[in-house]
Amino acid sequence: MTDKQARRRYSSQVVDGVEKAAARAMLHAVGFSDEDFAKPQVGIASTWSNLTPCNMHIDTLADAAAMGIEEAGGKPITFNTITVSDGISMGSPGMRYSLVSREVIADSIETVVGAQGFDGFVAIGGCDKNMPGCAMAIARLDRPAVFVYGGTIQPGKERRDVISVFEAVGKHAAGNLSDIELKEIEATAIPGPGSCGGMYTANTMASAIEALGLSLPNSSAQDAVSQHKRQDSHAAGAAVVNLLERGILPSDILSREAFENAITVVIALEGSTNAVLHLLAIAHAAGLPLTLDDFARIGKRVPVLADMRPAGQYAMSELIAIGGIQPLMKTLLDEGLLHGDCLTVTGRTLAENLADVSPYPPGQKIIRPLSDPIKKDSHLVILRGNLAPEGAVAKITGHEGLSFTGSARCFHGEEAALAAILDGTVQKGDVVVVRYEGPRGGPGMREMLSPTSAINGRGLSADVALITDGRFSGGSHGFVIGHVTPEAFDGGPIALIEDGDRITVDAEACTIEVAVDAAELERRHAVWQRPEPYATRGILAKYAKLVSSASLGAVTDSDL
């Protein structure tokens, strides 16, 4: 086999030989020349859509990637996959489809690349589930591939973003914001294209994927509307052709050490709890063992250094202005907190990529020095106890305190909890329990951004905790615990809590306990009845039947 044939391992099976004349005829109609059939075919998985600011510009990035592929000697073929907007569907029944969309994106990219025989591909994502969905497809297919992040949005008026709007709703409910003021915030928070501007899930996962080695340096830290982002997309196209020429596969990049690097960077950036769920899923797709205990182990030695929203002060665009995450990664590498010998999509190691990176400018306040961290260990705290024997994930930044004890106030679903928060039913000292929102029970594990934002907007964030078998937006902050497993729909202890039960969360001991003895929990379980499923047909029903526990990444192919 020649080097050129090796670069066309998959497409040659589709277009080479007399018997493939029909395939070539079809491709002539979409613009292939005779010369193109001898080139490696490189797919471009675009999540373009005008339904959300996060993705409305990605068609232009796909065009730039195509140019990079062509100039490097490949034949680009662009195809689309879906996106849904968490920010738009948040707090509604539509949010049930959000995590489901991660699986649809991964499945659809795998389907097209596998069916069409692409030799490699570029995947471009903008909204929250795009990133892990693309990365899962890259891991499953194990063909040369590069991920491109669509980039972050610019701040709105007075440095506002979408979380400003959610929290304004809570202030309005508390009587601290007029109708006119709320409307003004609504109208000025989202100025144009790009993903939500704090260290929320999109920016967190883009940073994690860069740390994994699946995107080019700085891809995670670029404004959506910028020449840098177009150049990143162009370079990604060329990079895939380089990977093809060198025979470098995702399996050469996605090692256990690479996932440890990703976890380390997420912690240092004070990233979203969703990173736990998504990194578990990507590791599963790569066939690598990764568990909640790995997050706990790494979290003991990695500090929180980034003063980023939602718990902190700064937006992603402000981090970009001082150099993005590369100087942070260089600092972590120099301190022995990253594995520098991990291969990346540049064809070089992480250490080689970081060798010439300059430090942050003097006087910046966004990234703290290791000698003065925001928190000496991880804000992502893995909890276990009689309320979550298989684990739960807390986001404890230190601003909320390290423990909370209060009385349970239980709700079946997000809507009931939000109504009680907004109407004043929820009071200081309550632990709001939102259940039947897990992967199977929701189904789809909705994010509790509306309830947590309402708590913060009403000024209760220091006095109310919230626990759920659902999950949280990267924009959530406060004393919040999600991913409680086993989930309520499976009869987990969270289903057995009653109003008034005393619940204690201890982030230092990493425990979550309800003050009810085992015999009483067993008695309650004996009379507990599973509620009717939300859906009995269609994608939500299929998802609920297939999905694994959140502690395993909520994947849909774990038992196949």
Give the residue numbers marked as catalytic: 473
Q: Which amino acid is at 207?
A: S
Q: How far apart are CA 233 and CA 235, in angstroms?
A: 5
Q: How far apart are CA 182 and CA 522, in angstroms?
A: 48
Both structure tokens of 18: 């007399």
Q: How far apart are CA 446 and CA 436, in angstroms?
A: 10
Both structure tokens of 342: 């991990």
Both structure tokens of 221: 């830290």
Can you tell me whether residue 179 is helix, strand or coil?
A: helix
Asked whether 101 and 51 are in contact (CB, 8 A), the reply is: no
Can you tell me whether residue 218 is helix, strand or coil?
A: coil
Asked whether 339 and 258 are in contact (CB, 8 A), the reply is: yes
Q: How far apart are CA 453 and CA 457, in angstroms?
A: 6
Length of the chain: 560
Both structure tokens of 171: 């202030």
Beta bridge partners of 223: 152
Determine the distance from the C-alpha atom of residue 33 to the mean position of all C-alpha atoms in its chain, rounded to a whole number.
40
Q: How far apart are CA 446 and CA 529, in angstroms?
A: 22
Asked whether 81 and 124 are in contact (CB, 8 A), the reply is: no
Find all residues with CB under 8 Å of 57, minimum gap 6, and list them: 48, 126, 150, 193, 194, 224, 225
Both structure tokens of 559: 């038992």
Report the interhelical angle of 201-212 vs 274-286 (nearest 10°): 40
Phi-psi group of 213: left, alpha or beta (phi > 0 → left; psi -120 to 50 → alpha; rest → beta) = left
